[in-house]
A and B are shown apart, each in its own frame.
Chain A
């Protein structure tokens, strides 16, 4: 997989955008700004998915993450309003000792990964797979010759989405069903967690004893 021409230009644009937006997500003071920077980071990574030939995943990323999860995040940010952080009265990071320890550890991790582990591992993989890659490329060029050329002029419009759909409903059909069950549990769980006490009482989910205790405690708190 070696990109060339416009593909490499877009690769550098979107990867730098993803990293900068990720950094700003972690460093922005206002939580709404964090969410917006995270959205731009996710969109840039979706563009990288398209460069890698995974159009379906890029679409799912934008529809589910940006359209669903991040809108949910924005709703919750609006609900839990943190004025002190935005106005600069409260610190946004933990205590300096914790932050320094975390950053030293992560800088070490980043250095080892980026300078040593990934280049060495990729070199070894390339040495092993060089011949197989050429053979597979030649085979794929023949197989893909009937597909239309993409807008970049380098690659062809692929049938990846069809293959992913086939895979989801054949080899991965059991995990697919389990995922639907997981989503159902998540829906019910979040509804249960976010109920107020009033709603719980209305649904007859609270014992009378517990209710008396809570009302006694709250009246005591009101007095003091």
Chain B
């Protein structure tokens, strides 16, 4: 009887291992949100490092900040569920990140316009006045 129950448990374990993948697709949890945020962050960094157009680099920075926001909101929800820590501080932090992103975009676009007026280019490899 004991032998039978252990073999049953083994079979159950095997089937459960195959079904955990389907289960995690059916019921996404915190780690899925973190993976999505990490991928968005990496796409943003790739844009900053590879593009020549200054405006597209700015847009990639917005993408990076947005990935950070997604992380903050996901952990805020996790803290709500576990009851550890202050559950809404993540959301408040996100509001401030959005404010800073708006200020950064205003200043950055002002710089782009001033630069275009003086140098007639927005390609970062041609803006090399301070390069030695």
Contact = CB atoms under 8 A, between A and B. Distances in A.
Partners in one complex: yes
Interface of B: 25-36, 38-40, 42-47, 49-53, 55-56, 58-60, 62-63, 66, 69-70, 73-74, 76-78, 80-84, 86-89, 91-92, 94-96, 98-107, 109-114, 116-117, 122-123, 125
Interface in A54-82: 54, 56-57, 60-61, 64-65, 68-69, 72-73, 76-77, 79-80, 82
Given A133-B82, A135-B83, A190-B109, A18 B88 contact: no
State which size class the interface on A falls in: 35 or more
B113 A76 contact: yes
A44 B128 CA distance: 37
A215 interface: no
Main secondary structure of the interface of A (DSSP, over half): helix
Given A38-B62, A72-B105, A57 B43 contact: no
Contact of B102 (A26, A64, A191, A194): A64
Contacts of B95: 57, 60, 164, 168
B85 to A, nearest CB: 11
Contacts of B44: 22, 26
Nearest to B118: A197
Contacts, number: 261
A132 B82 contact: yes
Contacts of B74: 1, 52
Contact of A61 (B76, B87, B98, B114): B98
- Please provide the 9 A-B residue pairs with the shortest distance between their CB atoms, ordered closest to farther: A136-B83, A193-B110, A190-B110, A186-B103, A102-B49, A26-B47, A122-B31, A22-B43, A190-B106
A140 B77 CA distance: 13
A109 B112 CA distance: 31
11 contacts: A2-B28, A19-B40, A26-B50, A38-B59, A42-B62, A57-B73, A85-B52, A94-B52, A140-B81, A164-B92, A179-B99
Given A8-B26, A26-B43, A64-B102, A94 B125 contact: yes
A45 B33 contact: no
Given A49-B73, A61-B98, A92 B40 contact: no
A91 B89 CA distance: 44
Contacts of B84: 129, 132
